[in-house]
Amino acid sequence: MKREILCTECAEKRIKNFGMEKSGASIFTADPYPQEHVKLVQGKAVQPFICDYCAVDIMPEEKCFASSIWADHGAQPYYEWEDEFITIKKEKEDAKVQKETSSS
């Protein structure tokens, strides 16, 4: 599995190039070839990074994407790693908390 942190501009290019579809509040996925997968998760950087594609600086709290590319037949299958590097907004959880808070 290949893991990358991408700036917004590079992630948007990847979304377009792979024809990725949104499959969650902040997740984009594609299966460009049989048994091969691409996943982008949008979030905010937890520390300074350099975009693995264009080398632009990504500052803490700046919007960025965690990118995973893997194959079903590869030596290392996909596992969730994104929250180690980015803060992922979970819209459903946020809406639930907000609803509970407003009704109290």
In tens, the pLDDT along 59-68 reads 999 999 999 9
Q: What is the pLDDT of residue 95?
A: 45
Q: What is the pLDDT of residue 74?
A: 74
* Listed residue (91, 87, 2) closest to 39, CA to CA: 2
In tens, the pLDDT along 31-83 reads 999 999 999 999 999 999 999 999 999 999 999 999 999 999 877 889 999 99
pTM of the model: 0.82
Q: How is residue 35 written in tokens?
A: 């048994």
Cα–chain center distance at 74:
21
